[in-house]
Amino acid sequence: MSGNEERTFIAIKPDGVQRGLIGEIIKRFEQKGFKLVAMKLIQADEDLMRQHYCDLKDRPFFPGLVRFMSSGPVVAMCYFCDIFLGSNAIDSKPGTIRGDFCIQVVRNIIHGSDSVESANTEINLWFKPEEICDYTKCQDSWLNG
Protein backbone atom coordinates (compact mmCIF):
# COMPACT_ATOMS: atom_id res chain seq x y z
CA MET A 1 0.00 0.00 0.00
CA SER A 2 1.45 3.37 -0.96
CA GLY A 3 1.59 6.17 1.58
CA ASN A 4 -1.43 8.04 0.20
CA GLU A 5 -3.84 5.10 0.11
CA GLU A 6 -6.32 4.15 2.78
CA ARG A 7 -8.69 1.27 3.24
CA THR A 8 -12.31 2.02 2.51
CA PHE A 9 -15.52 0.06 2.92
CA ILE A 10 -17.94 -0.23 0.01
CA ALA A 11 -21.27 -2.08 0.09
CA ILE A 12 -23.54 -2.75 -2.84
CA LYS A 13 -26.98 -2.33 -1.30
CA PRO A 14 -29.89 -4.75 -1.81
CA ASP A 15 -31.25 -2.70 -4.71
CA GLY A 16 -27.91 -2.90 -6.54
CA VAL A 17 -27.74 -6.66 -5.98
CA GLN A 18 -31.36 -7.19 -7.08
CA ARG A 19 -30.87 -5.08 -10.19
CA GLY A 20 -27.81 -7.10 -11.27
CA LEU A 21 -25.30 -4.25 -10.92
CA ILE A 22 -22.61 -6.06 -8.91
CA GLY A 23 -20.28 -6.63 -11.86
CA GLU A 24 -20.73 -3.11 -13.24
CA ILE A 25 -19.92 -1.54 -9.87
CA ILE A 26 -16.85 -3.71 -9.24
CA LYS A 27 -15.71 -3.01 -12.82
CA ARG A 28 -15.69 0.73 -12.15
CA PHE A 29 -13.45 0.33 -9.10
CA GLU A 30 -11.15 -2.07 -10.98
CA GLN A 31 -10.88 0.31 -13.93
CA LYS A 32 -9.74 3.04 -11.56
CA GLY A 33 -6.99 0.69 -10.37
CA PHE A 34 -8.26 0.28 -6.82
CA LYS A 35 -7.20 -2.90 -5.06
CA LEU A 36 -9.98 -5.17 -3.81
CA VAL A 37 -8.76 -6.91 -0.64
CA ALA A 38 -12.00 -8.41 0.75
CA MET A 39 -15.47 -9.19 -0.56
CA LYS A 40 -18.48 -11.23 0.50
CA LEU A 41 -22.15 -11.58 -0.29
CA ILE A 42 -24.11 -11.49 2.94
CA GLN A 43 -27.72 -11.34 4.05
CA ALA A 44 -27.25 -8.74 6.78
CA ASP A 45 -29.64 -8.92 9.70
CA GLU A 46 -31.20 -5.91 11.39
CA ASP A 47 -28.74 -6.06 14.31
CA LEU A 48 -25.77 -5.69 11.96
CA MET A 49 -27.48 -2.85 10.11
CA ARG A 50 -28.31 -1.04 13.38
CA GLN A 51 -24.62 -1.26 14.32
CA HIS A 52 -23.50 -0.13 10.88
CA TYR A 53 -25.80 2.91 10.85
CA CYS A 54 -25.61 3.65 14.61
CA ASP A 55 -24.65 7.28 13.90
CA LEU A 56 -28.08 7.74 12.27
CA LYS A 57 -30.15 6.09 15.01
CA ASP A 58 -31.90 9.32 16.00
CA ARG A 59 -32.92 10.21 12.45
CA PRO A 60 -36.56 9.63 11.44
CA PHE A 61 -35.56 7.47 8.45
CA PHE A 62 -33.40 5.08 10.53
CA PRO A 63 -35.99 2.26 10.97
CA GLY A 64 -36.77 2.23 7.24
CA LEU A 65 -33.07 2.26 6.35
CA VAL A 66 -32.39 -0.71 8.62
CA ARG A 67 -35.37 -2.62 7.13
CA PHE A 68 -34.27 -1.84 3.58
CA MET A 69 -30.62 -2.78 4.14
CA SER A 70 -31.61 -6.10 5.73
CA SER A 71 -34.24 -6.87 3.05
CA GLY A 72 -31.85 -8.66 0.70
CA PRO A 73 -28.24 -9.60 0.11
CA VAL A 74 -25.49 -6.99 0.33
CA VAL A 75 -22.04 -7.23 -1.27
CA ALA A 76 -19.54 -6.01 1.33
CA MET A 77 -16.10 -5.02 0.05
CA CYS A 78 -12.87 -3.56 1.32
CA TYR A 79 -10.59 -1.68 -1.08
CA PHE A 80 -7.27 0.05 -0.78
CA CYS A 81 -7.94 3.43 -2.38
CA ASP A 82 -7.74 7.12 -1.64
CA ILE A 83 -11.44 7.97 -2.06
CA PHE A 84 -14.46 8.03 0.18
CA LEU A 85 -17.96 8.02 -1.28
CA GLY A 86 -19.95 9.61 1.52
CA SER A 87 -23.71 9.58 1.38
CA ASN A 88 -24.95 12.42 -0.84
CA ALA A 89 -27.07 10.66 -3.49
CA ILE A 90 -29.02 13.76 -4.51
CA ASP A 91 -26.04 15.63 -5.99
CA SER A 92 -24.54 12.62 -7.79
CA LYS A 93 -23.35 13.48 -11.29
CA PRO A 94 -23.83 11.41 -14.45
CA GLY A 95 -20.89 9.06 -14.89
CA THR A 96 -20.84 8.17 -11.19
CA ILE A 97 -22.35 4.96 -9.84
CA ARG A 98 -25.16 6.81 -8.08
CA GLY A 99 -25.62 9.31 -10.88
CA ASP A 100 -26.04 6.51 -13.40
CA PHE A 101 -28.08 4.01 -11.38
CA CYS A 102 -29.72 5.69 -8.35
CA ILE A 103 -33.52 5.80 -8.35
CA GLN A 104 -34.25 7.11 -4.83
CA VAL A 105 -32.29 8.72 -2.00
CA VAL A 106 -32.47 5.62 0.24
CA ARG A 107 -32.25 3.11 -2.59
CA ASN A 108 -29.02 4.59 -3.87
CA ILE A 109 -27.24 1.40 -4.95
CA ILE A 110 -24.04 1.76 -2.93
CA HIS A 111 -22.69 2.68 0.47
CA GLY A 112 -19.19 4.02 0.88
CA SER A 113 -17.26 5.16 3.90
CA ASP A 114 -17.09 8.92 4.30
CA SER A 115 -13.84 9.12 6.29
CA VAL A 116 -10.84 7.08 7.39
CA GLU A 117 -12.41 6.66 10.82
CA SER A 118 -15.75 5.39 9.54
CA ALA A 119 -13.97 3.11 7.04
CA ASN A 120 -12.00 1.44 9.82
CA THR A 121 -15.11 1.03 11.96
CA GLU A 122 -17.15 -0.40 9.07
CA ILE A 123 -14.39 -2.74 7.87
CA ASN A 124 -13.98 -4.13 11.38
CA LEU A 125 -17.76 -4.60 11.67
CA TRP A 126 -18.11 -6.53 8.40
CA PHE A 127 -14.78 -8.40 8.12
CA LYS A 128 -12.53 -10.43 10.39
CA PRO A 129 -8.83 -9.52 10.00
CA GLU A 130 -8.10 -12.89 8.38
CA GLU A 131 -10.71 -12.18 5.67
CA ILE A 132 -8.68 -9.25 4.31
CA CYS A 133 -6.05 -10.28 1.77
CA ASP A 134 -2.59 -8.73 1.70
CA TYR A 135 -1.05 -8.93 -1.76
CA THR A 136 0.79 -6.85 -4.31
CA LYS A 137 -0.79 -6.24 -7.70
CA CYS A 138 1.62 -6.92 -10.57
CA GLN A 139 0.73 -3.60 -12.18
CA ASP A 140 1.81 -1.61 -9.09
CA SER A 141 5.47 -1.63 -10.14
CA TRP A 142 4.48 -0.47 -13.65
CA LEU A 143 2.23 2.33 -12.46
CA ASN A 144 4.04 3.50 -9.33
CA GLY A 145 7.57 3.48 -10.64
In a domain, 126, yes or no: yes
Sheet of strand 74-81: strand arrangement: 35-42, 74-81, 6-12, 110-112
- State the virtual CA torsion across 138, 139, 144, 145 in degrees, nearest 10: 80
pLDDT of residue 11: 96
In a domain, 22, yes or no: yes
| 111 carries an active-site annotation | yes
- pTM of this structure: 0.85
State how many domains the chain has.
Answer: 1
In a domain, 1, yes or no: no
In a domain, 144, yes or no: no
In a domain, 140, yes or no: no
Catalytic residue among 111, 112, 113, 119: 111
In a domain, 142, yes or no: no
In a domain, 17, yes or no: yes
Whose CA is closest to 107, among 21, 1, 9, 14? 14
What averages of pLDDT result for each successive group of 10 residues across the chain (145 residues)? 68 96 94 92 97 96 96 96 62 72 75 89 96 86 69
The CATH number assigned to the domain holding 79 equals: 3.30.70.141
In a domain, 2, yes or no: no
Q: Which domain holds residue 55?
A: 7-135
